[in-house]
Structure 1
Amino acid sequence: MRPRDAATVMVFDRAGGRLRVLVGKRSAANVFMPDFYVFPGGRRDRSDFRHPFASDAHPLVIGRLCNEGLSISRARALALAAVRELHEETGLWIGDANTGKADLSTLRYVARAITPPGNVRRFDTRFFCTFADETALDLTSLRDSEELSDLRWVDMDTISGLNMASITRTILEDVATLMHAEPSLPFGLGGPFYYERHGRFVRGTI
């Protein structure tokens, strides 16, 4: 089964000197990762190629995605998919809520993971992240959805108590390490790329 394009976004809140990340619980009825806590995200749709945006992704973000063999339009569609999924699953919108135009300018591309063969669903997922104070998010619009429930801002020091897939936890730890070295997460910063080759788990770089 060929992996399908997907995108997810890790939203960090650093207010008050604490670093927290937004997660939600997937429904038990989901075929893929039921009952696990995840970051908002999902499959890229065809409509993501046509979604309007007010500000484009940073050139270093587009460039890194294009280095993986993607066209500029496909790279941008992945960033737009991350913003769309965040809105559908949490009610939060990165951009102008009145016009529906997305703001991709604060998204960092920090990780990539391909679901191993043998799973009921396979995705080639690009992980983006942003900081809540950079996006002017209306946090009062945060609400559970059919796709994600028990939405919560989790302190990075207590994240270990959540039921997370190992790849989700690993990538979060990787990003935390990147932020420890570079708190602002510069746009050109590299990150991990996880995939399976000949039955072995491989960690590369994006």
Structure 2
Amino acid sequence: MTSARGPGGEVERQRSAAVRPRDAASVMLLDRQGGCVRVLMGKRHSAHVFMPDLYVFPGGRRDAGDHRIGFGSDLHPSVLHALKAAGTRELTDARARALALAALRELYEEAGIAVGQPAPSATAPVPFLPDLAKLRYMARAITPPGHARRFDTRFFALFADEAKIDPTRFLDSRELQDLQWIDVNDSPSLRIPDITAIILADLRSSLDTDPSLPCEREVPLYAARRGRLVRTLL
């Protein structure tokens, strides 16, 4: 193995640092029945290059065709505005909306949960018309330099009862296994990424402030600066 201090190691470090983050989206699906709030999490397959065998929220990268997915209802105006403005460059409506569409597409592909009415066409990209109106924009996190794969992930929250989702009906997939509901107020015994623990702490704080999670909110951005993870409100 080449030493990280040698020329080869330095080249590899520079290559890792130069990896451009790819847009991604994740859903914190919340079940507030039974006197507590639980969030759905699953274990990433061991074959994954990025975060193998760790428990995460359903989600994944934004695909090129996500902006072409038809939807049943649009994002709340405050959520759309925050998605567009929260960054070094303003996004178009279509690209901002594609992040939310990617989140619900991934929730369906990874957990078998469809949020929205059945699609009118059998050739639709997903078999339902995503309902974006109930999504809350909760956080954004950019994978620090030094990783073989980096993502610029937007985290959404969605209450299962508002979306008319039966919390007992979900399916494991090739992407996420051992799906289970986790009490957000418990310290999970599962192996979770550091950033997931941070986002969970933010979620707890937000629920304590206002259990309805209003759409009008400041959104924390987590990004590396001089080797340290920095939290900035957008």
Q: TM-score range by the shorter chain?
A: over 0.9
Q: Which has the higher strand share?
A: 1
Gaps (5+ residues) in structure 1?
Answer: none
Q: Is the 8 A contact 1:8 1:82 kept in 2?
A: yes
Q: Which has the larger radius of gyration?
A: 2
User: What RMSD over aligned residues (CA atoms) do the two structures have, in Å?
Assistant: 1.1
Q: Which moved more, 1:138-147 or 1:35-44?
A: 138-147
Scaled by the length of structure 2, the TM-score of the pair is 0.85
Deviation at 1:198, TM superposition (A): 2.2
Q: Distance in 1 between matches of 2:177 and 2:201?
A: 23
Q: Is the 8 A contact 1:114 1:125 kept in 2?
A: yes
Q: Deviations over 1:101-121 (max 9, x none)?
A: 110000000100000001011
The equivalent of 1:119 in structure 2 is: 147
Give 2:113's match in structure 1, choosing from 89, 92, 100.
Answer: 92
The equivalent of 2:183 in structure 1 is: 155
The equivalent of 1:74 in structure 2 is: 95
Q: Distance in 1 between matches of 2:183 and 2:229?
A: 29
Q: Which moved more, 1:192-201 or 1:127-136?
A: 192-201
Q: Deviations over 1:16-75 (max 9, x none)?
A: 211110000001111000010000000000111000101001000000111131111000
Q: Secondary structure at the match of 1:16?
A: helix
Q: Percent identity?
A: 54
Scaled by the length of structure 1, the TM-score of the pair is 0.97
The equivalent of 1:129 in structure 2 is: 157
Q: Is the 8 A contact 1:171 1:192 kept in 2?
A: no
1:130-145 equivalent positions in 2, closer than 5 A: 130-145=158-173
Q: Distance in 2 between matches of 1:126 and 1:33?
A: 17
Deviation at 1:189, TM superposition (A): 1.2
For the pair 1:18 / 2:36, whether they are aligned, the reply is: yes
Give 1:6's match in structure 2, choosing from 12, 17, 24.
Answer: 24
Q: Distance in 2 between matches of 1:159 and 1:98?
A: 39
Q: Is the 8 A contact 1:92 1:138 kept in 2?
A: no
Q: Deviations over 1:152-176 (max 9, x none)?
A: 0111233421110110011111111
Gaps (5+ residues) in structure 2?
Answer: 1-18, 121-127
Q: Distance in 2 between matches of 1:168 and 1:139?
A: 21
Q: Distance in 2 between matches of 1:90 and 1:20?
A: 16
